[in-house]
A and B are shown apart, each in its own frame.
Chain A
């Protein structure tokens, strides 16, 4: 069965510093997608970045990058030059290439606090 694990309930980072949020996953499927979403205090879920299991290069989207280590089954999110507005919950999610089960499975999230 598929599983997403985020072991850091909370993280603190100084403004303008970089921070890494950990995510490990477990699946026996060769084809899958990995996503990161941000949930600010206002509640909405905002898509940040996507990595496919067959992608050779790590995904990047502005200040966000995904450190994808397939053999270790990890998909860590790196946020560079943290800003106060980055304070939020961050969720790692996985999607499998299976008919009838092609929804997103989410981890438990990491609460990031950016300190001025």
Chain B
């Protein structure tokens, strides 16, 4: 158990809908990262938050947004969903803002299916 909690584990929804994925980092970790894993794109970095502030941005679509709350949990909001958004969404956390030797600890992921 990595200590990173993601809910829900599975989510099935329809095109055009909006969903929220939730992540609680390991106790003491200040950074939260969101990754998308799909068969065609592999593991893609979406966004990182550090202590409530956006720290780094990757291949995140404009239809997607995220935030990190004062208690350090994070939410990833996906809107106007398309079939291609179906993927496994991971949250990860780390102790600080991201030194090169800093390990990321991953949650078990949320499997999103858009029908």
Contact = CB atoms under 8 A, between A and B. Distances in A.
Contact of B100 (A37, A42, A43, A97): A97
Contact of A52 (B2, B58, B98, B101): B101
Instruction: Tell which of A43, A47, A50, A91 has the most Cβ of chain B within 10 Å.
Output: A43
A88 to B, nearest CB: 14
Interface in A41-74: 42-47, 50, 52-53
B88 A104 contact: no
A30 B8 CA distance: 40
A50 B107 CA distance: 19
Nearest to B4: A44
A106 B42 contact: yes
Contacts of B45: 103-105
B98 A44 contact: no
B99 A102 contact: yes
B56 A31 contact: no
B92 A95 contact: no
A50 B102 CA distance: 9
A25 interface: no
Given A102-B100, A103-B33, A43 B56 contact: no
Contacts of A95: 98, 100, 102
A108 B44 CA distance: 10
Interface in B36-90: 42-43, 45, 48, 55-56, 58, 88, 90
B97 A102 contact: yes
A1 interface: no
A42 B89 CA distance: 14
B113 interface: no
Given A44-B108, A47-B104, A47-B105, A102 B88 contact: no
Given A35-B103, A47-B105, A97-B100, A91 B43 contact: yes
Interface of B: 2, 33, 42-43, 45, 48, 55-56, 58, 88, 90, 92, 97-109, 111
Given A44-B106, A101-B56, 8 more contacts: A44-B2, A47-B103, A47-B104, A47-B106, A91-B43, A95-B98, A100-B55, A102-B55
